[in-house]
Amino acid sequence: MHHRRRRLRLLGVVAALSALLPTVGNPVTAAAKPPAPTRPAAGPGTNHATDDPFTAERTSWWRQDRFGMFIHFGAYSNLEGEYTRPDGTVCRNAEWIKRECAIPNDAYEKQAATFNPADFDAEAIVKAAQDAGQRYIVITAKHHDGYAMWPTRQNTWNLRDHSSFDPHRDILAELKTAADAAGIKLGFYYSIWDWHDPDFADPETFPRYKKRMYGQLEELVDTYDPALLWFDGEWDADNPANTWSRRDGADLQAYLHGLDPKLIVNNRVGKREVVDGDFGTPEQEIPTEPVDGQLWESCMTLNDHWGFARYDTHWKSSATIVRNLLQVAARGGNYLLNVGPDSRGRIPQASVDRLRETGRWLGAHGQGDAVYGAGHTGLVAEPAWGAVSRRGDELYASVLSWPAPGKPLHLTAKAPFTVTAATVLGSSQRVAVTAAGDGFDLTPSGAATDPAASVLRLTIKPPPAAPAGTGTGLTAQSWANGSFTGPPSVTTVDPTVNKSYRFDGSPDPTIPADHFSTRWTGSIQPRFDETYTLTTVSDDTVRLWIDGRPVIDSATPHGPRVDKGTVALTAGHRHRIRIDYTEGTGEAHLKLLWSSPSQPQQIVPQRQLHTR
Ligand code: H79
């Protein structure tokens, strides 16, 4: 991606020049066209899986950072949540206002022509995120109304060409510069569903839309080098008809991978299946437990709308935000909290205040350690009184309901470990730790430190781990039929079971994309004496045995699906494993993950797998 970074720097120079010489054209059009992206590999023998998102260097920042700012800002923001019809009646909505208030195209275009977010202050926005403790920002580059917030070359339905805004400004470039300066990652939201493009709804003309959409995404990646793309509007819909398909999603993911292999992409690039993109996207909700088979991020509004709505004062308290974030982190997810700038581009003061309060809590007494770089632990059950995350050999028990004086907080242990020290962050009180029933009683001697949440830090001596293995992977035999019939076509040593063959790929160039089977054999070597959960993500069928005993039996052909089974394993011991996987037609996937009280969810790594 060398040319891209060089190009961005060049752009900075051109932008600086254009500020001096206002007659110089838009910096995007002024820059030289980059070489066409390399065509991603495709066809038999291709595995589209990039890496293991749970452990990859690529996703490391995202997995550590945990807390991001979502920004919904577009032509709808100009209406500030209210549309006055010609007859004088008022209709309310925010970013869906065009559709929900049935605003005719010309009326919507007419109001967009007055959009002038002159007070958009990228540095102030980045500062608000930083003050909140948010470490990445995702802004709507294009929402369902199709309006591009950067000077796209694909059409004139954008902030430079269709507004009253200074045509020499580019708010995405401004945000990128400010975010870079602050060390905050920047990503873009992009809606697939498009209410404005005349070619979107008709399957006949959709290829023309798709070409412009790919063009816009290439512009975004080349110009602003985003860390992440957040798709939306992938669902089946009417008015306008949305025909986005799993195949469209697979094509787009391959295209994006060709543009920038480091991009992190959400699951709405496809159809929100467990195999789509890098992470799941629960919206306005927090999953009640860790999500199987994929990373996840919960996105949520700060009031009741994504886009600015001048009448919406139903703000969440900072205590609610802190608690949500703690719960999300303890369940291994990220929290993407939204702000909606007004028609002038200003984040509402009520949002700024709550963000600052949240950041104050995270910055106090090292309480942020319960969130940043921390994640789910299977060592304890989630208590009713709070949330527990793990960071190295420390457990952070965030107490949302503080006990009455002298009363204990009970923790259920799911594997044997010892607590060597316990403190309340920001307090000198003692915490008595006693073995009790199925775990521990923690009895703090004093009061809560904060009404939002008080954090107990427990230093633990974790269950002992066997040394990392020296495995090279499993033996994989593949057949060019779906039933393991006859001698296998190919036999290889497969470092991990992490396959996304999608529609066109297969285990080997000699094996067609449909009707094949693979059998993995060898041994799996755990590092802990614990009950492991083995998880498969499969399409079409999978069966798995450990030491000859069935653990997963999912032999009815299915679309992308998660199956789990538990088995007690012995640290350092090589347990025999066999996996039978078949593909009929359509998409093909198979992933093998494991987790245990001491082992966070991940693709079973190569070094713990042996060919025999
Ligand atoms: O971008 C934000 C939303 O606009 C978008 N996703 C987040 C991140 C979103 N799309 N759909 N939904 C949220 C849920 C759908 C809600 C609906 Fe409705 C109920 C669509 C029509 C009725 C909400 C209420 C939108 C219009 C009225």
Convert the pLDDT of each residue in 283-293 to its tens digit: 999 999 999 99
Asked whether residue 438 falls in the same domain as residue 543, the answer is: no
Least confident of 31-40, 312-321, 539-548: 31-40
* Domain assignment present for 39: no
CA distance 257 to 264: 9
CA distance 254 to 580: 27
Distance 96 CA to ligand 1 centre (A): 7
Distance 189 CA to ligand 1 centre (A): 14
Paired strand residues for 410: 441
CA distance 322 to 206: 43
- Taking all residues of the chain, what is their mean pLDDT, rounded to a whole number? 94
Asked whether residue 229 falls in the same domain as residue 177, the answer is: yes
Mutation probe of ligand 1 site: the residue of 76, 96, 143, 300 with most atoms within 8 A of C-beta = 96
Greatest pairwise CA separation for the chain in angstroms:
77
Report the atom number in ligand 1 closest to the C-alpha of 338.
Answer: 8
Kindly state if the Cβ of 232 falls inside 6 Å of ligand 1. yes
Asked whether residue 366 falls in the same domain as residue 431, the answer is: no
Q: φ and ψ at 154, to 5 degrees?
A: -85, -25
Asked whether residue 429 falls in the same domain as residue 557, the answer is: no
Q: Is-contact 351 304, C-beta < 8 A?
A: no
CA distance 471 to 496: 10
Q: Answer with the one of 461, 485, 520 that is the final residue of a domain.
A: 461
* Domain assignment present for 11: no
Tokens of 409: 């907080």
Pick the residue whose CA is nearest to atom 20 on ligand 1. 96
Distance 97 CA to ligand 1 centre (A): 10
C-alpha angle 56-57-62 in degrees, rounded to nearest 5: 90
Burial class of residue 181, CB neighbours in 10 A (0-12, 13-18, 19+): exposed
List Cα–Cα distances, 463 to 79, 112, 355, 424, in angstroms.
Answer: 58, 60, 38, 24
Contacts (Cβ under 8 Å, ≥6 apart) of 484: 517, 519, 580, 582
* CATH code of residue 411: 2.60.40
List, for residues 479-510, the tens digit of each pLDDT value.
999 999 999 999 999 999 999 999 999 999 99
Q: How many CA atoms lie within 13 A of 325 on its CB side?
A: 32
CA distance 581 to 520: 8
Q: Is-contact 457 422, C-beta < 8 A?
A: yes
Beta strands, E only, 351-453: 386-391, 394-399, 409-412, 418-424, 431-436, 439-444
**Closest to 199 measured CA to CA, from 141, 231, 240:** 240
Residue 336 has pLDDT above 70, yes or no: yes
Kindly state if the Cβ of 299 falls inside 6 Å of ligand 1. yes
Pick the residue whose CA is nearest to atom 22 on ligand 1. 100
Kindly state if the Cβ of 95 falls inside 6 Å of ligand 1. yes
Q: Is-contact 321 354, C-beta < 8 A?
A: yes
Asked whether residue 309 falls in the same domain as residue 398, the answer is: no
Burial class of residue 556, CB neighbours in 10 A (0-12, 13-18, 19+): exposed
**Closest to 587 measured CA to CA, from 510, 506, 478:** 506
User: Cis bond leading into 240, ω under 30°?
Assistant: yes
Buried b (16+ CB within 10 A) or exposed e, 120-130: bbbeebbbbbb
Q: What is the mean pLDDT of residues 47-71?
A: 98
Residue 333 has pLDDT above 80, yes or no: yes
Report the atom number in ligand 1 closest to the C-alpha of 233.
Answer: 10
Asked whether residue 274 falls in the same domain as residue 309, the answer is: yes
Asked whether residue 326 falls in the same domain as residue 394, the answer is: no
Asked whether residue 195 falls in the same domain as residue 270, the answer is: yes
* CATH code of residue 489: 3.90.182.10
* Domain assignment present for 10: no
Dihedral sign from CA coordinates of 160, 161, 164, 166: positive
List, for residues 153-186, the tens digit of each pLDDT value.
999 999 999 999 999 999 999 999 999 999 999 9
Pick the residue whose CA is nearest to atom 23 on ligand 1. 96
List, for residues 369-393, the tens digit of each pLDDT value.
999 999 999 999 999 999 999 999 9
- Note the Cα 484 to chain centre separation in Å: 37
Pick the residue whose CA is nearest to atom 26 on ligand 1. 96
Structural domain total, the chain: 3
Asked whether residue 195 falls in the same domain as residue 101, the answer is: yes
Supply the range of the domain harboring residue 432.
386-461
Q: Is-contact 79 347, C-beta < 8 A?
A: no
Distance 586 CA to ligand 1 centre (A): 30
Residue 22 has pLDDT above 50, yes or no: no
Asked whether residue 231 falls in the same domain as residue 177, the answer is: yes
* CATH code of residue 145: 3.20.20.80
Distance 491 CA to ligand 1 centre (A): 49
List, for residues 407-458, the tens digit of each pLDDT value.
999 999 999 999 999 999 999 999 999 999 999 999 999 999 999 999 999 9
CA Rg, the chain, in Å?
26
CA distance 255 to 244: 16
* Domain assignment present for 13: no
Kindly state if the Cβ of 201 falls inside 6 Å of ligand 1. no
pLDDT at 41: 81
The one-character DSSP state at 59 is T
Asked whether residue 320 falls in the same domain as residue 219, the answer is: yes
Q: Using pLDDT thresholds of 50, 70 and 90, give the confidence band for residue 395.
A: very high
Report the atom number in ligand 1 closest to the C-alpha of 281.
Answer: 8
Report the atom number in ligand 1 closest to the C-alpha of 95.
Answer: 4
